[in-house]
Amino acid sequence: MNSEGPNAGEGVFCGVDVGAASTKVVLMNGEGKMLGSHVRKSGVDYQIAARDCLEKALAMAGLEPDAVNGTIATGYGRRNVAFAGDAKTEILCHSAGCYFYFPKAITIVDIGGQDNKIIRLDDDGRRVSFKMNRKCAAGTGAFLEEIAARLDLELDDLDSMAKSAEKTVKLGSFCTVFSKTEILAHIRRGEPVNGIVRGAFRSVVERICEMETFEGDVVLTGGVAAHNTIVAQMMSKELGRDVHLPSFPQLTGALGAALLARDEYQEE
Alpha-carbon gap, residue 88 to 268, rounded angstroms: 18
pLDDT 10s digits, 90-117: 999 999 999 999 999 999 999 988 888 9
What pTM did the predictor assign? 0.89
15 sits in which H/E element: strand 12-18
Phi first, then psi: give them for residue 92, nearest 5 degrees. -65, -45
Task: Return mean pLDDT, the chain.
Answer: 90
pLDDT 10s digits, 72-96: 999 999 999 999 999 999 999 999 9
For residues 162-185, average pLDDT: 81
Do the beta carbons of residue 252 and residue 246 sit within 8 Å? yes
Q: How confident is the model at residue 47 (pLDDT cuts 50, 70, 90)?
A: very high
CB count, 10 Å around CB of 150? 17
Kindly list the domain boundaries of the chain, sorted by start residue. 6-93+250-267, 104-245
For domain 104-245, say whether CATH 3.30.420.40 is its number: yes
Do the beta carbons of residue 85 and residue 58 sit within 8 Å? no
The structural architecture, per CATH, of the domain 6-93+250-267 is 2-Layer Sandwich (3.30)
Are 6-93+250-267 and 104-245 in the same CATH fold? yes
pLDDT, residue 147, reads 86
pLDDT, residue 134, reads 61
Q: How confident is the model at residue 222 (pLDDT cuts 50, 70, 90)?
A: very high
Distance between start and end Cα atoms, the chain: 30
Alpha-carbon gap, residue 26 to 225, rounded angstroms: 18
Q: Does residue 178 surpass a pLDDT of 80?
A: no
Pick the more confident residue, 2 or 59.
59
pLDDT, residue 175, reads 64
Q: How confident is the model at residue 189 (pLDDT cuts 50, 70, 90)?
A: very high
Q: Does residue 161 surpass a pLDDT of 90?
A: yes
Alpha-carbon gap, residue 149 to 204, rounded angstroms: 16
